[in-house]
């Protein structure tokens, strides 16, 4: 990579409702600390019936276009593991809703929660080939597990949009990556299911194994030394998982994984994920946004990034914030996005989930609920109909 290429802007969108996990704990008959401390989760986003990965992705992408326009965007890459169609890319709906020109490529990428990182690196390669173009990368997911299952407390929904360019204003994507792929069945969703199959204990073990292997490959390829990093970001299926992963990295590097050290290294990355829940492909990048919004100046200090997608693929890489990056952050808007969600009762949440599970197939119209800017208005003859939300 001959040019400085990376993240020129970054924004997120989340869903309409917020469910306090104290309500879920009460129904599950467990102490709330099992969720708040054991998982590190406090609230989860619940998508409205007229929200999905397309509406979330478009709401995040619109923030990018409002600031930078669409000139030079020749590619939109949308990463998700909660896709709406086994053939047509969700990126095409987003391209249309955002009013991007027809002379673009629009592609959907999939590899569990790793897909957003794959999209980021593919975007960087496209910009390296033609530094005049810009690539819109969006990671968008709605995480839903079986009702009354152990994974239910980790659910969430969000999209993160990134504009990838040469000479970026936020962070440079550093050139070295450490990689790890292994064919394991820790988490997967067959096409006939709306919720995943999960082996939770295996998934935690494989994640930690992937951290070690990806780091060792990163070292072998001549990456930064462990002591060079100014901060650390991990994929957060639940925020305590980042603590488990970082403990493994500390141990590998001969450092003590004390509670104080773990908080010092990770706490700033967890604020948004703790209040949203798992957003799959968007999770790592919500962690990065939380870090940048809640940390003093990181200019010139590499930020370690560990991306993990079940099944599994992992990558250890880094981004380095550039001078003046803090002027381009959206901390106030990010806090407002969380505060503006509507609290939802457990009974209402349960009704929404059960309705969604029985609503597959056939024609359906959706009540106008979301205020995010874009909504799914209907499914007619298996065709999804989207429209802007009037303001």
Taking residue 155's Cβ as centre, other Cβ atoms within 10 Å add up to 26
Question: Quick one: how far is CA 314 from the chain centroid?
Answer: 15
Give the H or E element holding residue 297. none
Q: What is the pLDDT of residue 391?
A: 66
Tokens of 254: 């001969």
Give the CATH number for residue 116: 3.40.47.10
Tokens of 227: 């002591």
Q: d(Cα 208, Cα 347) in Å, to the nearest integer?
A: 36
Tokens of 363: 């024609």
Active-site entry in 51, 81, 152, 315: 81
Co-location of 197 and 304 in the same domain: yes
Co-location of 307 and 353 in the same domain: no
150-204 pLDDT tens trace: 999 999 999 999 999 999 999 999 999 999 999 999 999 999 999 999 999 999 9
Burial label, 179 (beta-carbon count in 10 A; 0-12, 13-18, 19+): middle
Eight-class DSSP state of 86: S
H helices present in the chain, as ranges: 21-28, 33, 53-68, 90-98, 115-129, 200-220, 239-252, 259-266, 271-276, 283-293, 331-339, 346-358
Co-location of 373 and 316 in the same domain: no
Tokens of 138: 């969006």
- Full DSSP string of 63-105: HHHHHH-STTEEEEEEE-SS-S-SSS-HHHHHHHHHT--SSSE
Instruction: Specify whether the CB–CB gap between 273 and 286 falls below 8 A.
Output: yes
Instruction: Specify whether the CB–CB gap between 128 and 1 falls below 8 A.
Output: yes
Q: What is the pLDDT of residue 356?
A: 80
Give the H or E element holding residue 103. none
Give the H or E element holding residue 293. helix 283-293
Q: d(Cα 229, Cα 252) in Å, to the nearest integer?
A: 15
Per-residue pLDDT for the chain (391 aa), expressed as one digit of tens each?
457 999 999 999 999 999 999 999 999 999 999 999 999 999 999 999 999 999 999 999 999 999 999 999 999 999 999 999 999 999 999 999 999 999 999 999 999 999 999 999 999 999 999 999 999 999 999 999 999 999 999 999 999 999 999 999 999 999 999 999 999 999 999 999 999 999 999 999 999 999 999 999 999 999 999 999 999 999 999 999 999 999 999 999 999 999 999 999 999 999 999 999 999 999 999 999 999 999 999 999 999 999 999 999 999 999 999 999 999 999 999 999 999 999 999 999 999 999 885 556 678 999 999 999 999 999 999 999 999 997 6
Question: Is there a cis peptide before residue 312, judged by omega within 30 degrees of 0?
Answer: yes
Q: d(Cα 165, Cα 73) in Å, to the nearest integer?
A: 10
**Which of 292, 181, 314 is closest to 248 using CA atoms?**
314
In three-state secondary structure terms, 353 is helix
Co-location of 76 and 150 in the same domain: yes
Structurally, the chain folds into a number of domains equal to 2
In three-state secondary structure terms, 178 is strand
Co-location of 314 and 226 in the same domain: yes
Tokens of 160: 């993160």
**Which of 3, 17, 40 is closest to 287 using CA atoms?**
40
312 given a catalytic annotation: no
For the CA atoms of 79, 80, 84, 86, the dihedral, rounded to the nearest 10 degrees, stands at: 70
Q: What is the pLDDT of residue 390?
A: 78
Co-location of 14 and 153 in the same domain: yes
Active-site entry in 8, 16, 28, 235: 235
Co-location of 180 and 274 in the same domain: yes
Active-site entry in 113, 152, 312, 315: 113
Q: What is the pLDDT of residue 168?
A: 98
Co-location of 93 and 138 in the same domain: yes
294 given a catalytic annotation: no
Taking residue 299's Cβ as centre, other Cβ atoms within 10 Å add up to 14
Co-location of 15 and 122 in the same domain: yes
Mark which of 307, 323, 339 sits at the end of a domain.
323
β-strand partners of 14: 158
Q: What is the pLDDT of residue 119?
A: 98
Mark which of 323, 343, 367 sits at the end of a domain.
323
Co-location of 35 and 126 in the same domain: yes
Eight-class DSSP state of 115: H
Q: What is the pLDDT of residue 159?
A: 98
Q: d(Cα 288, Cα 232) in Å, to the nearest integer?
A: 9
Q: What is the pLDDT of residue 1?
A: 42
Tokens of 43: 């609230």
68 given a catalytic annotation: no
Co-location of 209 and 244 in the same domain: yes
Mark which of 281, 308, 323 sits at the end of a domain.
323
**Domain of 79, in residue numbers:** 5-169+329-388
CA distances, 384 to each of 52, 85, 200, 361, 363 (Å): 11, 10, 33, 11, 10
Co-location of 253 and 197 in the same domain: yes
Instruction: Specify whether the CB–CB gap between 118 and 138 falls below 8 A.
Output: no
């Amino acid at each position: 990579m001959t040019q400085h290429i990376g993240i020129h802007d970054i924004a997120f969108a989340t869903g309409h409702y917020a469910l306090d996990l104290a309500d879920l704990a009460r129904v599950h008959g467990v102490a709330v600390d099992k969720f708040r401390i054991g998982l590190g989760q406090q609230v989860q986003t619940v998508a409205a019936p007229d929200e999905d990965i397309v509406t979330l992705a478009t709401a995040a992408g619109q923030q990018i276009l409002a600031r930078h326009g669409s000139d030079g965007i020749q590619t939109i890459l949308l990463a998700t593991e909660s896709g709406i169609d086994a053939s047509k890319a969700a990126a095409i709906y987003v391209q249309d809703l955002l009013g991007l020109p027809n002379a673009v490529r629009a592609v959907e990428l999939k590899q569990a929660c790793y897909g957003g990182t794959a999209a980021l690196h593919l975007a960087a390669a496209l910009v390296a080939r033609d530094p005049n173009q810009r690539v819109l990368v969006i990671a968008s997911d709605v995480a839903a597990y079986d009702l009354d299952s152990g994974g239910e407390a980790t659910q969430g929904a969000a999209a993160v949009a990134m504009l990838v360019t040469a000479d970026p204003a936020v962070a440079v994507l550093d050139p070295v990556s450490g990689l790890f792929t292994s064919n394991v069945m820790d988490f997967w969703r067959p096409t006939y299911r709306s919720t995943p199959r999960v082996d939770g204990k295996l998934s935690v073990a494989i994640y930690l194994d992937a951290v070690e292997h990806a780091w060792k490959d990163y070292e072998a390829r001549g990456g930064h030394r462990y002591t060079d990093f100014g901060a650390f970001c991990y994929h957060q299926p639940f925020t305590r998982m980042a603590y488990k992963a970082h403990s493994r990295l500390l141990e590998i590097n001969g450092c003590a994984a004390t509670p104080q050290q773990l908080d010092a290294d990770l706490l700033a990355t967890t604020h948004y994920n703790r209040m949203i829940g798992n957003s799959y492909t968007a999770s790592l990048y919500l962690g990065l946004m939380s870090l940048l919004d809640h940390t003093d100046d990181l200019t010139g200090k590499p930020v370690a990034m560990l991306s993990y997608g079940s099944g599994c693929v992992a990558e250890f890489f880094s981004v380095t914030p550039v001078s003046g990056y803090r002027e381009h952050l959206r901390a106030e808007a990010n806090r407002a996005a969380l505060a503006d969600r509507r609290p939802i009762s457990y009974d209402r949440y349960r009704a929404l989930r059960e309705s969604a599970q029985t609503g597959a197939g056939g024609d359906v119209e959706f009540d106008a609920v979301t205020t995010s800017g874009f909504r799914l208005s209907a499914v007619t003859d298996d065709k999804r109909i989207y429209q802007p939300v009037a303001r």
